[in-house]
Amino acid sequence: MRLPSNVKPYPPFIKYFVSLDKGFNFGKTIYLNKAIYEDLLKDKPNNLSIAVLKHEEIHVESVKEKGVLKFGIKYIFSPKFRLHEELIAYEEMFKFLKQKDETYNLDRVAKALSSHRYLWVLSYPQAKDILQKLWKEV
Ligand SMILES: [Zn+2]
């Protein structure tokens, strides 16, 4: 599929700083891990790759709505905002995956959400509980 110009593969230096396994956004730019980025360029990308892109696109919509600076500051300093933003992005992702009869490793997401990557926004059991409910409800 054709990717919008704000979607890019991880720049090579990123692996020296952090291990971000699927994707992240910086302002309005979406960075995807190389395997996902390359898969999305194929005629028939994996549903999981598309779902990752959808997740990041939700973040970019919020950035556009709120402005790069406001989004960035709130995301870093407000755990409540950060959680809200992640949950609306996962909701979109889960909706798409369920439509396609796919499953998703909620345990992995729960671990990520309760880790340094999201600045310990939730404990692992809280994250697991919220994600299971979200998956059921979408
Ligand atoms: Zn996210």
Instruction: Kindly report, residue by residue over 76-121, the tens digit of the pLDDT.
Output: 899 999 999 999 999 999 999 999 999 999 999 999 889 887 778 8
32: part of which helix (H) or strand (E)? Answer: strand 29-32
Count the domains in the chain: 1
Cα 52 to averaged position of ligand 1 atoms, centre (Å):
9
Residue 58 binned pLDDT confidence (cut-offs 50, 70, 90): very high
Task: Report how far apart, in Å, the C-alpha atoms of 38 and of each of 28, 49, 132 are.
Answer: 20, 9, 30
- Rounded to the nearest whole angstrom, what is the distance from the C-alpha of residue 43 to the centroid of ligand 1? 25
- Distance from Cα 66 to the centre of ligand 1, integer Å: 16
Indicate the pTM of the whole model: 0.90
Q: State in Å: Cα 44 to ligand 1 middle.
A: 24
**1 within domain boundaries:** no
How many residues in the chain? 138
| Short-list 48, 53, 43, CA closest to 101 | 48
Instruction: Give the model's pLDDT for residue 130.
Output: 96
- CA 4 – ligand 1 centroid, Å: 18
Q: Is residue 106 part of a domain?
A: yes
Domain that holds residue 129: 7-137
Q: Is residue 2 part of a domain?
A: no
pLDDT at 19 over 60: no
Percent of the chain with pLDDT over 90: 75
Q: How far are the Cα atoms of 8, 81, 86, 113 from residue 60, in angstroms, in the given order? A: 13, 15, 12, 19
